[in-house]
Amino acid sequence: MKSYDVVVIGSGTAGQTAAYALEEQGFIVAVIEKSPTPGGTCALYGCQAKKWFYETAEAVSKAKHLQGLGITQPPEWSWEDVLAQKNAFTSKIPDNAVNGLQGVDIDFIPGEARFQDKETLVVNGGTVHAKWFIIASGAEPMPLPIDGAENMITSTGFLGLKELPEKILFVGGGFISFECAHFCAGLGPKDGTVTILEAGPRPLGPFDSEMVELLTEASRDAGIDIRTGVKITSIVKQGDGFKVLTENQGDFQADLVVHGAGRTPDISGLDLEKAGVEFERRGIKVDASMRTSNPRIFAVGDCAATIQLARVADKEAAVCADNIIADRKGAGKAQAMVYDNVPFLLFTYPQYGMVGKTEDALKKEGLKYYKSFGKHVGWPTYRRVGMKHAAYKILVDENNMILGAHILSDNASGLLNLLRTAMMHGVSAGDLHAESLMTPYPSRESDVVYMLKPLIE
């Protein structure tokens, strides 16, 4: 039996963050990884990998919008070249992950782990003991109750395609489908079709309904066919392509069908019951210290019943490590994880992002609020680049403190960073308006002055 201070299950961003933090404090640490390609979903198949496609798709979309405004030739692009650049980046990640861990004397154990009891793992036929365990096993595509679901590829497969076929269909109207669909609209065949089928009444359920409607409009103008309320019954292989049969909206032909209906915690093989770890559909139950129902076992990242975002995972890992350090010192609880004002961003074109409350949530909670809402496509910053879809919604309380911010823009990320910083530091809409007068002008961020103006008049 091997014995460690801490054993981490998973080598993604959360697992590595926790492992390095604890090793620096003198803990004897091991990381167990079942995937043949260590490094985690974000870097290999998710947020980092997808940005290679997004950056090029965004450039192509911008060039298309600028036709008639100085750009005279339609842009040309190569999916194959983008893929090669992405692969050059991701191919180094597994070795870098393993070498990085081993370089600071963290043991790397390839294999699939499962709990034998509350303080022991079984891996590769042997047992591993630890004083503390951190589960950072990530997530996997959600199983779908559709006949022929095996005919779909996942987002991992999509980001590895050597070329884009003419007819692509995405099942599900969430993050994955919208972002990948926009990559297809920007970089796919000029006469290709892109379709999103969503089972619910609208896509992107957690987001502000009014803003989602505007993003949907922008997506349709980009050539993406978005259907809602679709009940898919089966996906049938048909020649070189597929037929997607629905109960209520006819059939759809596609060369490729992509699973974009979300991800679920990858915890089914861990035998958590034997370790006394409670879990639910959303993932492993944790408290604010990231501790599970077993006080010696923590869970961080996409496997926990929290928020599936890479930066959230990193913060959870840091909080978890801090609490394990406090345990060793006998100091009790250390840092607590806080999820207030976590920003969400879709890398579509235009980008859509939010931080804080949606207007739908405020209405449901019966809270009094004021809002500034507008479409700023006519503003000079957007006219110059030919943007046809851009909007904002800022929600404040009676004291003019920002409750929520929602941006549809080619620079939603930058605007959200500014607005979130104000929210985190208790800066009112009035004070932010005054300070924003000194931002570089003209820039997207300087437009915040005009977005906030109705709230201070």
Strands (E), 291-369: 297-299, 344-346, 351-356
Cα–Cα dist 131/6, whole Å:
6
| 209 marked as binding residue | no
Cα–Cα dist 429/402, whole Å:
6
| 298 marked as binding residue | no
Q: Which amino acid is at 272?
A: L
| 172 marked as binding residue | yes
CA distances to 108, 112, 195, 259 from 146, in Å: 38, 28, 18, 11
Residues in the chain: 457
Cα–Cα dist 277/259, whole Å:
30
| 27 marked as binding residue | no
| 177 marked as binding residue | yes
Cis peptide before 442 (omega within 30 of 0): yes
Given the structure tokens 């990242």, which residue do they identify?
301
| 302 marked as binding residue | yes
| 178 marked as binding residue | yes
With CA atoms as reference, report the closest residue to 138 among 42, 265, 310.
265
Strands (E), 68-112: 107-110
| 262 marked as binding residue | yes
| 170 marked as binding residue | no
Query: Do 202 and 232 meet the contact criterion of CB atoms below 8 Å apart?
Result: no
Cα–Cα dist 112/122, whole Å:
8
| 176 marked as binding residue | yes
The radius of gyration of the chain from alpha carbons, rounded to an integer in Å, stands at 24
Cα–Cα dist 307/246, whole Å:
31
SS3 359: helix
With CA atoms as reference, report the closest residue to 135 among 10, 34, 27.
10
With CA atoms as reference, report the closest residue to 308 among 47, 82, 36, 35.
47
Residues linked to residue 354 through DSSP beta bridges, in sequence order? 344, 406
Q: Angle at which helices 429-436 and 412-424 pack, to 10 degrees?
A: 130
* Annotated binding-site residue numbers for NAD(+): 172-179, 198, 262
* Annotated binding-site residue numbers: 51, 172-179, 198, 262, 302
* Annotated binding-site residue numbers for FAD: 51, 302
